[in-house]
Chains A and B, each alone.
Chain A
Amino acid sequence: QSALTQPPSVSGSPGQSVTISCTGTSSDVVTYNRVSWYQQSPGTAPKLVIYGVNNRPSGVPDRFSGSKSDNSASLTISGLQAEDEAYYYCSSYTSSAWVFGGGTKVTVL
């Protein structure tokens, strides 16, 4: 159960777009279209923002979007806002287990 690979940090100015990558293997991201993304602000529990590669739960702004290509998934935040500053984690199902990425800190400049 190897962790998915994410960049440690990304940053952008308000209004810009940022994209976070999540690289897996044939055991997880490649085989299963079950990548989800979670937002975690300091001192709080994670919150689901994208599931099934590119579906948003009710209440999540449409500036959050997801995609997948080969062995990587991506989360894009368009029109970055100050409240989007947080850690973001990807996750994938992988044959009787789940795996998370190491997390990416999004900084709004």
Chain B
Amino acid sequence: QVQLVESGGGVVQPGGSLRLSCAASAFNFRFYGMHWVRQAPGKGLEWLSFIQHDGSYIYYGDSVKGRFTISRDNSKNTLFLQMNRLRPEDTAIYYCARAGTDWTFDYWGQGTLVTVSS
């Protein structure tokens, strides 16, 4: 069964940095694009970033462009999200999701909570 496990969340002060990880298992990670999606408390889903299977294409949403960096290590089946210059409005549960057929998010992790507060 496809499994995605996020880690690295926590409490950080405004202006700080955090690096999230997403460990993938039970599928050929190197053949799939991957996404990061977040959900602020009580709010809807917001797409953040996508990375192609080989890292050749990378896209960002407007709200994180220039502050967040997506990357991956196919040798370790792991996806990353480096988050810099964090703001209180970045407080959310951060999910990694596999890019499935027809541009879908076909499998999701359980999420990791990031809280930006002084």
- Are chains A and B native binding partners rather than an unrelated pairing? yes
Binding site for B on A (CB under 8 A): 1, 3, 32, 34, 36, 38, 40, 45-48, 51-52, 55, 57, 87, 89, 91, 93, 96-103
The tally of residues in B whose CB lies under 8 Å from a CB in A reads 23
Once the chains bind, are B105 and A46 in contact (CB under 8 Å)? yes
* Contact stretch, chosen from B22-30, B40-48, B79-87: B40-48
Residues of B within 8 A of A (CB): 35, 37, 44-47, 50, 59, 61-62, 95, 100-111
List 18 A-B pairs, Cβ < 8 Å.
Answer: A1-B47, A3-B44, A36-B105, A45-B95, A46-B95, A47-B108, A48-B104, A48-B106, A51-B104, A87-B44, A89-B45, A91-B45, A96-B59, A98-B47, A98-B50, A100-B37, A100-B46, A102-B44
State whether B108 touches A36 (Cβ < 8 A): no
Task: Write the chain B residue with the least CB distance to A52.
Answer: B102
Chain B residues whose C-beta falls within 8 Å of the C-beta of A36 in the assembled complex: 102-105
How many A-B pairs fall under 8 Å by CB? 67
Closest Cβ of chain A to B26, distance in Å, is 15
By secondary structure, the A interface counts as strand
A100 touches B102 (CB 8 A): no
CB-nearest residue of chain A to B105:
A48
Nearest 6 CB-CB pairings of A with B: A52-B102, A93-B103, A45-B108, A103-B44, A98-B47, A34-B103
Q: Within 8 Å CB of B100, what residues of A? A: 48, 51
A52 CA to B35 CA in the complex, in Å?
Answer: 18
> In the complex, which residues of chain B have a beta carbon less than 8 angstroms from the beta carbon of A87?
44
Tell whether, in the assembled complex, residue A38 and residue B45 are in contact, meaning their CB atoms are under 8 Å apart: yes
